[in-house]
Amino acid sequence: MVRGSRLTGVIAAATLVAAAVLAVGCGSTPTTGSSCSKTWKVGLVTDVGKLSDKSFNFDSYKGVQDAQADSSLCVQGRAIESSVESDYPKNIGQFVDQKYDMIVTVGFKLGDATIKAAKANPNIKFVMVDYGDFTDNPTPSNLVGLLFKEDQPGFLAGALAGLLTKSNVIGAVAGLQTVPPVVHYVQGYENGAKYTNPKVKVLKIYQPESGAKDFNDPDWGKQQATTFFGQGADIIFGVGGNTGNGGLLAAKEKGKMCIGVDVDQYVSYPDVDSCLITSAEKHLDKAVKTAITTMVQGSFKSGLLTFEMANDGVGLAPYHDFDSKISADVKAKIADVQAKLKAGSITTGVTS
Amino acid sequence: MTDFLSQLDPVSLLSITLITATPLVLAAMGGMMCERSGVVNIALEGIMLTGAFIGYGVAFFTHSVWIGLAAAIVSGMLIATLHAVLSISFLVDQIVSGMVINILAVGITGVFYRTYLESATTVGPGTFPHWDVPVLSAIPVIGPIFFQNQFVTYAMLILIFVVHFILFRTVWGLRTRACGEHPRAAETAGINVYFVRYVNVIASGALAGLGGAYFSLQQIGNFLPNMTGGRGYIALAAMIFGKWTPLGAFAASLLFSGSDQVGSRLQSVFHVPIPLQFLGMIPYVLTIIVVAGAMGRAVAPAAVGIPYKKG
């Protein structure tokens, strides 16, 4: 059994490696629309948070799927998930090689790779979700950045937390500090809480950069939220994909309140419904679909598309289970803050 | 001072440290049983990931975290059997075999997750319940740290003593160590080296599979691609730092996960004006310092990593 079977072992090992590589290689398969004279191929590249984050990447891809479901647009969508940052140019390159019409890159961190690819491939339209830093003007004419005023829903969520906290201590468990939208949410949250409750203390933590676990480490997020509970916090704002989701889960298990991010997490992450008072939303699906529609209809314009309270590009999700527990007085105050943000009569105090 | 103490909140600090050390300790003890019998097992990472995935998948479809737990352990044993067959019977280089399993685990679990589980937006199977041990959990300090935990953490605490007893107080443990130090001599003394190694490798799979259940079924109630995030490798460092003993591995794991928690607290609670990138480095810097010599010499079992050929 033993002698001379070394070769067999090597072959067995090689087969396993091949199987593993193949397994990594296959992604989701696209479905094709019918009765279209031209099918617009739209490819989406996620950041390392992956489609399973149930918020940011998930909802951006929903914009592509919505466009695909809309038969008038004749769109065929596909997504590639990035595992590490070095995947970004490679994954964008896959869609370039397959002659896609539009490539959507999800997340601030893909900015550099996207600009590079846009310059090299002027015939392909590029959409960057969450990126607006066009310091190297002029912007390539085939590139549009989708920008959200995250500080506004963050401010509104903070205003609600400030009114609902009993301990006057609230927390935020966040993704990377180097990603501006994350910081906008957290600073807006802090300022909003202090706007409605000057006594409130806001504990916050940003995840240290670690590669594959950026925005994808719920265990870490859970530990941080648990630490905040020890400091007296009774509301946790989870800002940062699966990392933030860990914070929400800790709140649910300890019977505290929690606030979701990017999408209505009552729908996307039902495990934590019982603690979710609301979610600070940016309507990613709507924004991505808008960008795709401009391409199909021939009205694509390079530069920036900004989504804010005034054009309903950001907002607060419904209260769901807490609808009956939140007093009419609090609801009125939140509606008032929202109206003032919309009208521009108050600002969030977040500048960068 | 009282303000400092309430901010430090040592009880919760230690409690979180113990919880996050759980998979490290389990995987380190798995690696230890393996290496004590003479087989290197760097597949711990892949075994934990598989255990996390299978545990979650089975719990998802059976609606029982306990059936999921059993599945996680069994799947760990199966993968370990693969490692055993490759490295013991087929004499494949043990590092290569372990690496193959790690790569395979990332690919297979990722694909099956995307195909069958990712789109499922229904509520997951939940997590193991919190069990407070009667009486003991009411003790100040000790109670909240040790006796208000979930299943995998309790199992880890008990298994430290079980593994220690098996390795150093039983005939089986003696045979295991003999196979790891001098298999030829063990064979001469009538010990079936293959059998001893097989059993130990498979046992390590059970321990690492249980460690995998920590991620999906104890902490998150969900599976995420690559969710073990390299902790299988940190566990190997804990095993070496702990000098191939369960208690040593336990202490090393506490040090690793504790330094992580302290780093976080410096940022969030104490607002130390150090860039958080540096705070995030603390566990790794500590690992380097410790492994580089602050701990004295660590001597591996003499025959570890060398495939054994009969006769």
Minimal Cβ distance to B100: which of A6, A16, A224:
A16
Tell me if chain A has a CB within 8 Å of the CB of B222.
Answer: yes
Instruction: Please report how many Cα atoms fall inside a 13 Å half-sphere around the Cα of residue A185, on the Cβ side.
Output: 33
Tell me how far apart the alpha carbons of residues B17 and B257 are, in angstroms, rounded to a whole number: 6
Q: Who has greater pLDDT, B233 or A55?
A: B233
Confirm or reject contact between A167 and chain B (CB < 8 A).
Answer: no
Q: How far is A227 from chain B (nearest CA, A)?
A: 7
Query: Cβ–Cβ of B310/A217 closer than 8 Å?
Result: no
Task: Say if B195 is an interface residue toward chain A (CB within 8 Å).
Answer: no
Length of chain B: 311
Residues in chain A, overall count: 352
Closest alpha carbon to A143 in A181, A179, A103 = A103
Residue numbers in B near A16 (CB within 8 A) = 100-101, 104
Cβ of residue A247 closer than 8 Å to a chain B Cβ: no
Using DSSP's 3-state secondary structure scheme, residue A349 falls into coil
Question: Does the pTM exceed 0.90?
Answer: no
- For B253, phi then psi, to 5°, come to -65, -40
Q: Which of residues 70-99 of A touch B (CB under 8 A)?
A: 81, 83
Spatial contact of B180 and B38, defined as CB atoms under 8 Å apart: yes
SS3 A276: strand
Secondary structure class of A263 (helix, strand, coil): coil
Residues of chain A neighbouring B280 (CB-CB closer than 8 A): 208-210
Residue A301 CB burial class (10 angstroms; 0-12, 13-18, ≥19):
exposed
Which of A2, A231, A267 is the closest to B269 by Cβ? A231
Q: Which one of B104, B121, B268 has the shortest CB-CB distance to A224?
A: B268
pLDDT band at B179 (very low <50, low <70, confident <90, very high): very high
Taking Cα atoms as reference points, which of B49, B47, B123, B56 lies closest to residue B83?
B47
Cβ proximity of B13 and B158 under 8 Å: no
Element (H, E) at A255: none
Q: Which of residues 23-42 of A touch B (CB under 8 A)?
A: 23-24, 26-28
Partners of A102 in beta bridges: A42, A125
Taking the C-alpha atoms of residue B44 and residue B28, their distance in angstroms, rounded to an integer, is 8
More confident: B311 or B14: B14
CATH 3.30.930.10 fits A151-282+319-343, yes or no: no
Res A29: pLDDT: 44
Nearest of A198, A205, A210 to residue A222 by alpha carbon: A205
Outline which parts of chain A fall under CATH 3.40.50.2300.
36-148+285-309, 151-282+319-343
From the options 3.40.1350, 2.60.40, 1.10.3470, 1.10.1740, give the CATH code of B8-294. Answer: 1.10.3470
CB atoms within 10 A of CB A275: 23
Say yes or no for a CB contact (<8 Å) between B16 and A226: yes
Average per-residue pLDDT for chain B = 90
Cβ-Cβ contacts under 8 Å for A100 (sequence gap 6 or more): A41, A42, A43, A124
* CB-CB neighbors (< 8 A) of A213 in chain B: 229
Residues 62-121 of B with CB under 8 A from A: 86, 89-92, 96-97, 100-101, 103-104, 106-108, 110-111, 113-114, 118, 121
Do you find a cis peptide bond into B10, omega within 30 degrees of 0?
A: no
B175 pLDDT above the threshold of 90: yes
Query: Which amino acid is located at B193 in the chain?
Result: V
Q: Which residues contact A41 (CB under 8 A, 6 or more apart)?
A: A75, A76, A77, A78, A95, A98, A99, A100, A101, A102
pLDDT average, residue stretch B282-292: 77
B85: Cα separation from own chain's centroid: 22
Which chain A residues are Cβ-neighbours of B90 within 8 angstroms? Answer: 5-6, 8-10, 12
Q: What distance, in Å, lies between the first and last C-alpha atoms of chain A?
A: 69
A215 neighbors A49 (Cβ within 8 angstroms): yes
Res A171: pLDDT: 97
Q: How far apart are CA A255 and CA A72, in angstroms?
A: 46
* Span B179-202, average pLDDT: 95
The whole-number pLDDT of residue B134 equals 92
From A76, A28, A25, select the one nearest A52 (Cα to Cα).
A28
Distance of CA B108 to CAs A12, B3, B100, B262, Å? 17, 50, 12, 35
Question: Could you give the dihedral angle defined by the CA atoms of residues A97, A99, A101 and A107, in that order, rounded to the nearest 10 degrees?
Answer: -10
Interatomic CA distance for residues B180 and B304, integer angstroms: 6
What are the backbone angles phi and psi of residue A78, rounded to the nearest 5°? -150, 150
Residues A20, B263: C-beta atoms closer than 8 Å? no
> Does the pLDDT at position B49 exceed 60?
yes
**Residue B224: pLDDT over 90:** no
Low-confidence ranges of chain A (pLDDT < 50): 1-4, 20-33
Kindly report which listed range (A80-84, B116-120, B170-174, B267-271) carries the lowest average pLDDT score.
B116-120
Residues of chain A neighbouring B46 (CB-CB closer than 8 A): none
- Give yes or no for A274 touching B (CB within 8 A): no
Token pair for residue A17?
């490696």
Question: Under CATH, domain A36-148+285-309 is a member of which superfamily?
Answer: Response regulator (3.40.50.2300)
Residue B255: both structure tokens together: 């040090």
pLDDT of residue B225: 84
Contact B19, A220 (CB under 8 A): no
**Lowest-confidence segment of A167-181, A220-234, B136-150, B259-273 by average pLDDT:** B259-273
